[in-house]
Structure 1
Amino acid sequence: MAEKQQFDVWKEDMEPVLDSKLDEFHLLGYNRATKEDIWRCVTERLNKKKHYVPFYAFTNELLNLKASVYMTWLTVNSYKEPEDWFAEFEETESKK
């Protein structure tokens, strides 16, 4: 029987790693990247694995996350999640 992953327990311990990865993405020009999105990207990818992922493997996966993998994940999720794409535009227009 496979053990259930509990990545959320590690989130506080991973803050320095998330900060480092966020800084890396911002330096590469991905200024809209967030720690929460990076976290969700890695945890969703690792939840697909059939075996238990230890802490060191999770850290390695987070540190080795490529910007292209992150951007692909964002693109796929943007199609999955219904979002009002024009809400931001409408807010700025109504303030004028």
Structure 2
Amino acid sequence: MDPFQLPSIAEHKAAILDLCRAKIEEFKLLGYDRVEFDEFWSYIESKVRFGIQLHELVELILSVRITDYMNYLTVNAYRQMEGGLGDPPRS
């Protein structure tokens, strides 16, 4: 879900995007130079639930651990491969 569809979050779009860039910069300081904004934002969107509040989105971005993000990328890479993991299980 795109959190910017919610009016309470849309009005803070610039600050949220800056926060994402700061988190990516943190990962780069830790030696992960290939973190791309679009992939990071896709990860954030995958974690957003409907009706998320601004403070919850900020906490989500700030609490991303590099291991969780890398696991997300790995699973997505397998899904994109022919014969990979396929569709995620439905809950």
Aligned residue type for 1:41 = Y
Q: C-alpha distance in 2, partners of 1:32/1:6?
A: 23
Q: 1: CA distance between counterparts of 2:69 and 2:63?
A: 11
Match of 2:85 in 1: none
How do 1:51-90 residues align onto structure 2 when only pairs under 5 Å count? 52-82=51-81
Query: What SS does structure 2 have at the residue aligned with 1:14?
Result: helix
For these two proteins, the number of residue pairs brought into alignment is: 76
In the alignment, is residue 16 of structure 1 matched against residue 15 of structure 2? no
TM-score, normalising length: structure 2: 0.71
CA RMSD, 1 decimal = 2.0
* Structure 2 residues not aligned, in runs of 5+: 83-91
| 2:51 is aligned with 1:43 | no
Report what 2:31 is aligned to.
Answer: 29
- Percent same amino acid at aligned positions? 25
Name the CA shift for 1:6/1:40 in 2 (closer, same or farther; >3 Å): closer
Segments of 5+ residues of structure 1 without an aligned counterpart are 84-96
Query: Equivalents in 1 of 2:44, 2:19: separation in Å?
Result: 12
| Largest Rg, 1 or 2 | 1
CA gap of 1:74–1:31, structure 2 versus 1, over 3 A, is: same
Q: C-alpha distance in 1, partners of 2:4/2:35?
A: 20
